[in-house]
Amino acid sequence: MFRLVTVAGRAALEHDGGWYDLGQLTGDEAFSAPAGALAHHGALHELSERCAERPPDGRLADVTLGPPVPDARQVFGIGLNYRSHAAESGMELPPAPLTFTKFPSCLAGPTTDVRLSGDTVDYEAEVVVVIGADCRHVPEDRAWAVVVGITAGQDISDRHVQLSGSPPQFSLGKSFTSYGPTGPAVVSVDAFADADDIALSCEVWGGAVQQASTAQLIFTVPQLVSYLSSICTLYPGDLIFTGTPDGVGMARGRFLAPGDVIVTRVDGVGELRNRCVGPDEEEH
Ligand code: ZN
């Protein structure tokens, strides 16, 4: 099992509160690029065990982590993948995974500020699947074998931009810079007791707003990987935002405002804590 993070844009392994630069640990700079490290994920398990034998390059508490896969080649988002969220949105269940893209330039770290683009910006807590192999036409029963790990994600969405087209085109409204917080780590699949039943939650305005498990997904992770790979070639480091459960702000009639803090938790992964800032406010 391993936990992959990035420190100053370089891939590192997390072990016992410390971080270990992968380029240093392996003597191979190919490992310092996160997608490069994920392409060799077989070695990451063994390298993670080796961490116990040496002092870390630093403590996690002393650094600001970046998005664990800042160099993802493709970032897929899945809409309406929980019955509860489709119902609160007043939408019919999609017959196939309703897929959009979050352009990779929107990816942000676990504590990056979210720069609000307007007054209809919303949160969506999601479990994010990270691909670990070049693959096409993956059958469902082989799908977990091409998934290297799991991370937490926020599919921040400007509802006005997302829904104003006719027909609506989701991708740009979900791709403003900083609208893809991810992290804090990519956690290998073997760390989960049941990878098809991972709990996620979201807290904002001082209370819980979303709570669910991936056991409730309409299209499961194997179905998503199989479907997407029947159309696109998938690459190491590609991300799939698997969808959000009910409880989003749009259904509550309340949107994000400067000063709000979004806390996103995925069991076995950890937490994202992102503060919202206005268009002209200084960011951290
Ligand atoms: Zn979403």
Residue 156 belongs to domain with CATH number: 3.90.850.10
CA distances from 264 to 42, 96, 194 (A): 29, 27, 20
Tell me the CA–centroid distance for residue 45 and ligand 1, in Å: 30
Tell me the CA–centroid distance for residue 65 and ligand 1, in Å: 23
Tell me the CA–centroid distance for residue 85 and ligand 1, in Å: 10
For the chain, the C-alpha Rg in angstroms (whole number) is 18
Q: Are residues 255 and 124 in the same domain?
A: yes
Q: Are residues 174 and 90 in the same domain?
A: yes
**Averaged pLDDT, 134-158:** 98
160-170 exposure pattern, b = at least 16 Cβ within 10 A, e = fewer: ebbeeeeeeeb
Residue 33 DSSP code: S
Tell me the CA–centroid distance for residue 180 and ligand 1, in Å: 10
pLDDT at residue 40 greater than cutoff 60: yes
Q: Are residues 198 and 82 in the same domain?
A: yes
pLDDT of residue 180: 98
Strand 180-188 relative to strand 107-108, pairing? parallel
Q: Are residues 58 and 110 in the same domain?
A: no
pLDDT of residue 280: 81
Q: Helix (H, G, I), strand (E, B), or coil: what is residue 260?
A: coil
Tell me the CA–centroid distance for residue 219 and ligand 1, in Å: 14
Percentage with pLDDT > 70 across the chain: 99
Number of domains in the chain: 2
Query: Using an 8 Å Cβ cutoff, are 2 and 48 in contact?
Result: yes
Q: Are residues 53 and 89 in the same domain?
A: no
pLDDT tens digits, one per residue of 156-183? 999 999 999 999 999 999 999 999 999 9
Q: Which of 11, 27, 62 is the last residue of a domain?
A: 62
Q: Are residues 42 and 174 in the same domain?
A: no
Does a cis peptide bond (omega within 30 degrees of 0) precede residue 56? no
pLDDT band at 213 (very low <50, low <70, confident <90, very high): very high
Tell me the CA–centroid distance for residue 193 and ligand 1, in Å: 25
Q: Are residues 124 and 246 in the same domain?
A: yes
Q: Are residues 200 and 245 in the same domain?
A: yes
Q: Who surrounds ion ligand 1 at CB < 5 A? A: 124, 155, 244
pTM: 0.97
Q: Are residues 103 and 58 in the same domain?
A: no
Cα(161)–Cα(135) distance, integer angstroms: 33
Residue 108: inside a domain: yes
pLDDT of residue 283: 60
Q: Are residues 30 and 140 in the same domain?
A: no
Tell me the CA–centroid distance for residue 28 and ligand 1, in Å: 36
**Averaged pLDDT, 123-143:** 98
Residue 207's domain comprises 75-277
Tell me the CA–centroid distance for residue 195 and ligand 1, in Å: 19
Of 85-89, 99-103, 116-120, 195-199, least confident by mean pLDDT is 85-89
Q: Are residues 56 and 91 in the same domain?
A: no
Q: How many CB atoms lie within 10 A of CB 139?
A: 11
